[in-house]
Structure 1
Amino acid sequence: MTQTPFIGKLAIFLSFFTCISCLTSATAPDTVLRFRSDSPTFKIVLFADLHFGEDAWTDWGPLQDDNSSRVMSTVLDLENPDLVVYLGDVITANNIPTANASLYWDQAISPTKARGIPWASVFGNHDDAPFSWPIDWFSATGIPPHRCRDDATSCSGLKEECEFRGTQRLDLMKNEVKNSKLSQSRNGPKHLWPSVSNYFVQISPFFDDCQSPVMNLYFLDSGGGSYPEVISTAQVEWFRHTAQQINPNSSIPEIVFWHIPSGAYEEVAPSFTEKPCVGSINMEKVAAQQAEFGIMSLLQQRPSVKAVFVGHNHGLDWCCPHSPHNTTNKLWLCFARHSGYGGYGNWARGARIIQITHQPFSLKSWIRMEDAQLHSPITFTSSILETQS
């Protein structure tokens, strides 16, 4: 039977109202990103441990920042991603002789911003660490040069009177979000502060607000710097509540990002990078969080969580399966690749890439190096890891 004009208009109105409801419900995401109209894939680049601002008073420091920018520019131009994730230790705040560390944070983000690519960030243990006085600032008489912050009332030589107190997490995040609409980062729930970078992002099909998201991305602040290196019980409960609201049946795939690896990374750490693990460098021990308050147990219980991605250890870039109870569902624990020339280690720099395919769904990853080489390609599945040649 042919619809009357009124019925047809009513159907259009109800469809429109339903989609508006999708966007304004209590479970609306912090932000939504979309697949491109001309691409079946969504690509994410991870930049870890850039350490901008390190040794800023020397010739070496600014040169390392330039080198880090070159690495990012190379990777961005080769991969053309849809999202960049800054995976902590964006700056070395305990090494920055300025009261406003956001200046270096902005510098680190600039290659991504200049290309018009959205980004999201989480905090590491160096991003708001208390400023440390370099020993070479002190003259033979023990009096440092006049490098006080602008609001210092005295520079008599007493450390307490001429101290750079640094820029706290909340100030860094507020500055980032305020300065660009491309930033997908959020301050996170106030009851979790001073743990700030706790939020989620949904990736949806191209212009289809009412279709289920293709993937949920969760970001957690793993502490360090201004407070202990932990993911707290309160954060675990926030994740539990949020995931239950937006993905109650675990039908939407999920991945999680934070900076400092959990103790589970120590459990799965390989002696050598070999199957079932995949990677190219395994040059140090895992430096894990100070304590475990249940985040890994919660993630292991959710079959929708496919992988966790961290930074922190510059000499590791492997992915290994975590299945403590011999379940068929594997949670993959992955390191990124050290991207910045700041920080320790002389290993070649690069970035981990994540690629999401919509129909049929697949999740893949590889490492793109500063010399443009690609290695360690992997495909995540529900129970196994398929290596690619």
Structure 2
Amino acid sequence: MTPTLKSFVIIRAESSFRIFLVMGGIFLLSFVFAYTMIQPFSRLDSIESIERRLSFHPKERSNDTVDEFDEELYTFKILQLADLHFGEAEFTDWGPLQDMKSGGVIHKVIEKERPDLIVLSGDQLTGNDIDENATEYYSNLISILQSSQENIKWVMIFGNHDDAPLERKDKDGNTIYFDTKTSREDLLSKDMSFSSSFSKRGPIDMPGNNYFVPLYLKNIPVLNIYLFDSGGGALSEKIDQSQTDWLKTVSKKSSLPGVAFQHIPSSVDDFEFSDNCVGQHDDPIDAVTADSEIVRELASSKVLFLGVGHDHGNGYCCRHKYN
């Protein structure tokens, strides 16, 4: 499926903490930080080992005596890429052609929008169609990112197809399943081998790979970016209670607002699906089998935004039900 540009949202970091569910293939999110309002938050190094900082710096002013807040100076733009599905139908004519088209769209969007960070939010690959080691497809995707913008930065999470077992049809049309050719660990190791990746291994006492990356404005932490593994492939498609407990522990140690990403949507019961939703809603919502009240915890943890993917025909924004 060739991705299309879905939405653009601007959120002020000092705004009230109402979490949004956003679904879409390509989604742009800009955070505007009022630097004069930011307090010197405590360092997060005591929570997790931070080898490198994800940081951004205000653009140079033409006149250093200007005191007015300039929105352009303090905008941090995140580009979410979901469900790219490289390697799908690799032995057909249309599969490789779709990869080329997707790569072209990604390149054009990055060139136009110049994001500060890309979130690869799951199903980068269609692992169940890839006969050999899928890390080559992943390397090709990273090449597209790097050729589109100098010094581009990204983080990644997994979807339900990235490490899915290989599928083939027998002569009678029945599906035969084989062992997964490329594991989550293989793909994460490949991703982390690139110097511009800010992905990392999270705690091992939870399903999948879950972690957070703090964002610094100059030397001051201003935002936590939470990345959750919603399972699928070799894992059950759910958010485990241990993941919700981890979020609760981390957020209590930090006064920062946050944003969050996971691949498969959380329960539809957590959101106000009404005329207040903005965007495209062409697919039913295929949610995780259990989400351990992760949305309720996100809402109480000063998280502004939850970005998901999975349902290809959806690209919209809805408020959650928790005040």
Report the TM-score, using the length of structure 2 for normalisation. 0.76
Contact 2:154–2:199 (8 Å) recurs in 1 = yes
Q: 1:108 aligns with which of 127, 141, 156?
A: 141
With a CA cutoff of 8 Å and minimum separation of 6, indicate the structure with the bigger relative contact order.
Answer: 2
Matched positions, count: 266
The equivalent of 1:315 in structure 2 is 313
Q: 1:60 aligns with which of 94, 100, 105?
A: 94
The equivalent of 2:23 in structure 1 is none
- Change over 3 Å in CA distance of 1:314–1:266 after alignment to 2: farther
The amino acid across from 1:90 in the alignment is Q
Give the secondary-structure state (helix, strand or coil) at the position aligned to 1:107. helix
The equivalent of 1:228 in structure 2 is 236
The runs of 5 or more residues in structure 1 that have no matched partner are 1-18, 143-158, 328-389
Alpha-carbon distance, 1:294 to partner: 2.4
Alpha-carbon distance, 1:26 to partner: 4.5
- Change over 3 Å in CA distance of 1:238–1:26 after alignment to 2: closer
The runs of 5 or more residues in structure 2 that have no matched partner are 1-39, 60-72
Give the secondary-structure state (helix, strand or coil) at the position aligned to 1:190. coil
The amino acid across from 2:308 in the alignment is V
Supply the distance in 2 between the matched residues of 1:236 and 1:317 (Cα, whole angstroms).
25
Q: 2:303 aligns with which of 302, 305, 330?
A: 305
Supply the distance in 2 between the matched residues of 1:308 and 1:282 (Cα, whole angstroms).
17
The equivalent of 2:278 in structure 1 is 278
The equivalent of 1:190 in structure 2 is 204
Q: 1:167 aligns with which of 173, 182, 198?
A: 182
- Kindly provide the CA deviation profile for residues 46-82 of structure 1, in whole angstroms up to 9, marking residues without a partner as x: 1110000001111211111111100100100000111
C-alpha root-mean-square deviation of aligned residues, in Å? 2.3
Alpha-carbon distance, 1:172 to partner: 0.6
Alpha-carbon distance, 1:23 to partner: 7.4
- Kindly provide the CA deviation profile for residues 269-296 of structure 1, in whole angstroms up to 9, marking residues without a partner as x: 34xxx3x2211x1112111001131212
- Change over 3 Å in CA distance of 1:261–1:93 after alignment to 2: same
Alpha-carbon distance, 1:164 to partner: 5.7
Report the TM-score, using the length of structure 1 for normalisation. 0.64
The equivalent of 1:42 in structure 2 is 76
The equivalent of 2:114 in structure 1 is 80
- Change over 3 Å in CA distance of 1:173–1:51 after alignment to 2: same
- Kindly provide the CA deviation profile for residues 174-196 of structure 1, in whole angstroms up to 9, marking residues without a partner as x: 11102x11011112112224x12
The amino acid across from 1:49 in the alignment is D
Alpha-carbon distance, 1:109 to partner: 2.2
- Change over 3 Å in CA distance of 1:164–1:294 after alignment to 2: closer
Alpha-carbon distance, 1:24 to partner: 5.1
Give the secondary-structure state (helix, strand or coil) at the position aligned to 1:224. coil
The amino acid across from 1:259 in the alignment is H
- Change over 3 Å in CA distance of 1:29–1:268 after alignment to 2: farther
